[in-house]
Amino acid sequence: MNDNALNFDLDKFRVTDVDSAYYIKDFITKKEEQELLNKIYSAPKPKWVVLKNRRLQNWGGVPTERGMLSESLPSWLTTCTFPKFSTLGLFNDCEKFKLPNHCLINEYESGQGIMPHEDGPFYYPTVVTISLKSHTILDFYKHLNSMNCIMAKANNGESKSYYSAPEFSLLLEPRSLLVLKHDLYKTYLHGIQEVKFDNLNEKNILNYNLTDMADDFETNNCTILKRDTRISLTYRIVEKVVKAKLFNVAKK
């Protein structure tokens, strides 16, 4: 994302036909991408939490029902991102914080994904995701109360129902930025299918005109994309932040 693009109104990056989604390709440079990757992979081994279908790092603290014992984000996570977040006003409507205080880093190997879920009540309803190394397809599922649906668990343990087929999808390219806000954040589940190849012809991709593949979509010359290992940086605001003394008292 060059300096001129920083002067653009966020609405210029709005995804059509869906509320409160914005997509900016090449939000960071290849150099910035590599610098982030170097820092991520040089983190101490205990920083990684290994799950069944991915591994992750928490930066800024670990959100809980009692609140988050906040730690400052390292400068390498903010230097090339926060000035752009501020210029675009991504978090201006949050009264308590104007910039994220939490970053979740996920590593997905080819073939890995995450089941449809919502981010839960710990976070302010604006989520910003930067993709590194590889593309992915993010699928969205409408909440339903129906027999023709699947049950999923939200991060807070609450059961949610959704159609088995996604209503729409977004293509996330390397170095891109995705912003989800308000209605889209609250009323849809989102997930990543566990596949090694994405057939774009089989997806209802709404942000095609904002991607580097816009011409291919316009000429109906879509293709099959091979997934490689992908890193996602998800920036959010945890509004309930507690001091160390209060946090320790609450644990007793």
User: Could you tell me the CATH number of the domain that includes residue 69?
Assistant: 2.60.120.590
**pLDDT of the residue at 121:** 81
6 in the Ramachandran plot: left (φ > 0), alpha (ψ -120 to 50) or beta?
A: alpha
Q: Does a structural domain hold residue 61?
A: yes
Q: Does a structural domain hold residue 178?
A: yes
For the chain of 252 residues, list the mean pLDDT of each consecutive stretch of 10: 62 92 97 98 95 95 89 97 95 91 98 90 93 98 61 48 79 98 85 95 92 73 89 96 61 46
**pLDDT of the residue at 183:** 78
Please give the mean pLDDT across all residues of the chain. 86
Q: Does a structural domain hold residue 60?
A: yes
**pLDDT of the residue at 223:** 83
- In this structure, what DSSP letter does residue 226 have? E
Range of the domain at 37: 9-251
Q: Does a structural domain hold residue 4?
A: no
**pLDDT of the residue at 40:** 98
Q: Does a structural domain hold residue 127?
A: yes
Q: Does a structural domain hold residue 1?
A: no
95 in the Ramachandran plot: left (φ > 0), alpha (ψ -120 to 50) or beta?
A: alpha
Measured CA to CA, the distance from residue 156 to residue 23 in angstroms comes to 27
What domain count does the chain have? 1
Q: Does a structural domain hold residue 143?
A: yes
Q: Does a structural domain hold residue 3?
A: no
Indicate the helix (H) or strand (E) that contains 178: strand 177-181
**pLDDT of the residue at 219:** 59
